[in-house]
Amino acid sequence: CYGSVVRQQRRFPDDFLFGTATASYQIEGGWDADGKGESIWDYMVHNNPSVIRGETNGDVAGDTYNNYKRDVEMMRELGLDAYRFSMAWSRILPTGMANEVNPAGIEFYNNYINEMLKYNIQPLVTLYHWDLPQKLQELGGFANPLFSDWFEDYARVVYENFGDRVKMFITFNEPREICYEGYGAATKAPRLNSTAVGTYLCAKNLVIAHAKAYRLYDKEFREKQGGQCGITISVNWFGPATDAPEDEVAAELRRQGEWGLYAHPIFSAEGGFPKELSDKIAEKSAEQGYARSRLPEFTEEEKEFVRGTSDFFGVNHYTAFMVTAANGNANYPVPSLPDDMDNISFADDDWLKSASVWLTLAPNSIYKALSHLRTLYNDPIFYLTENGWSTLEGRDLIDDDRIEYYRASMESMLNCLDDGIKLKGYMAWSLLDNFEWMEGYIERFGLYEVDFEDPARKRTPRKSAFVYKHIIKNRYVDYEYEPESLTMTID
């Protein structure tokens, strides 16, 4: 009509959960406040500050420890249905072990949760978003087979204290980042660089720890608390760069190495690690003179114990890559997960670039990832537990590229819903600017800008905050919408 493009107004259902996500170390500050113990991030940034861009750290970050009421006020401004945040294990259990509970830690999370509930915002709690108590790292962390018991004990303390009000628990955030980046490489704490042996050992112990925490909830808490328990895995989309069969094989190995190592044991019908990657690792281990495959096996009993232990599939999805076979020519360290997968990936030059090297706006990638997972794992319930866009530090309140990204994500989710994929919610990363791990405060993901020079850590809404608010309120994407001013109110 009148030559303008009429977009079909596809809607999100009223019970679709719109929220935002954060993580304890990235926002809380109060790193040693009121009896909190040291985490592996505290330890790393204090002992090896130069590993972080700008040599900053999360000692204060957004100071949510003292500003949580303002954060909840921002949630109200946006009209969020839900808010995903993580608990710092060492704030609750300073040494990591459950014999000694820190009452101030329990009180902080109680206040935070109660403030959300006062305004009908549903808390989604991640038990572990990368800040392991340092004392447990000194015992080997995820490489110690007893890790799963320590995690189960911690989970019990969390369920007992908060499960009367929290109805959705996520055990781990992004096993790949924990096991590959922290153990196999040196791009996250504890920077062990312990080769593929470390990555795979961590993978096995992590999924068993997840299963113990899930089964504990199931057995002792679900009946009286009535909530759900699941895991969040990072699933970016990896498709073949060409039609060549070797690129399809390469893409499949890449998907198995990126997320299959963690998803397959939990979500597949047969359980255990994914077959093609397992075979490849066994073959390469033998060729390289190892007496056994560096990928540990699951016993039949362990496979059964882990299989089916998630009420939903939490997906952190940001971007996509194209994959091509490397045929041993990529010069990855040997042995390493990248060398075992043996492929190269890249983004299309035409895709919009963010401030993060790894993050571009890839077309319809949420739909590609979820429809693949749906077929592979028998149509699970999905929550997108993270998705977001980075801009460079600077007081860039007009963030049109972030708006473009969020709108594209909405369209891709609507494609999922049209197809009957059971996608139930979306958590934008992130509510506010925060400590972006190795990138410090240089890359910003917030709907709210944070002034890290200001002792009060003032928060200011970006333009994208208004656009997201409008989507949540109306349940569709209005391309005509422009905020009248950048003044926020609570509706």
Catalytic machinery residues: 174, 386
**363-368-370 Cα angle (round to 5):** 130
Would you say 151 or 437 has its CB closer to ligand GBH? 437
Of 34-42, 173-181, 269-277, 453-461, the segment contacting ligand GBH by CB under 6 A is 173-181
Q: What beta strand segments (E) does 121-225 contain?
A: 122-128, 168-173
Q: Respond yes or no on whether the N-terminal peptide bond of residue 190 is cis (omega within 30° of 0).
A: yes
**x/- string (CB under 6 A) for ligand GBH, residues 351-370?**
------xx------------
Per CB under 6 A, 187 contacts ligand GBH:
yes
CB of 185 to ligand GBH, least distance (A): 8
Q: Any contact of residue 436 with ligand GBH (CB under 6 A)?
A: yes
Cβ proximity to ligand GBH, 76 vs 84, nearer residue? 84
Smallest distance, ligand GBH to C-beta of residue 11, A: 28
Task: Give the range of 27-35, 170-178, 266-274, 418-426 binding ligand GBH by CB under 6 A.
Answer: 170-178
- Amino acid at site 49: P
Taking the complex as a whole, the smallest distance from the CB of residue 403 to ligand GBH amounts, in Å, to: 18
Instruction: Answer yes or no: are the C-beta atoms of 267 and 380 closer than 8 Å.
Output: yes
- CA distances to 222, 295, 449 from 267, in Å: 20, 19, 37
User: How many other C-beta atoms lie within 10 A of the C-beta of residue 110?
Assistant: 13
For position 429 contacting ligand GBH by CB under 6 A, the verdict is: yes
Residue of the chain from 42, 81, 340, 386 that contacts ligand GBH (CB under 6 A): 386
Question: Is 259 one of the binding residues for ligand GBH (CB under 6 A)?
Answer: no
CA atoms within 13 A on the CB side of 110: 11
For the bound state, the minimum distance from the C-beta of residue 360 to ligand GBH, rounded and expressed in Å, comes to 12
Q: How many residues bind ligand GBH (CB under 6 A)?
A: 15
23 scored as a contact of ligand GBH (CB under 6 A)? yes
Q: Say if residues 29 and 59 touch (Cβ distance below 8 Å).
A: yes
**Alpha carbon 35 to its chain's center:** 27
| Alpha-helical regions (H) of 256-299 | 261-267, 275-287
Q: Which of residues 222-251 bind ligand GBH (CB under 6 A)?
A: 234
Cα dihedral angle (12, 264, 205, 381), rounded to 10 degrees? 20
Residues that bind ligand GBH (CB under 6 A): 23, 26, 173-174, 177, 187, 234, 316, 318, 357-358, 386, 429, 436, 445
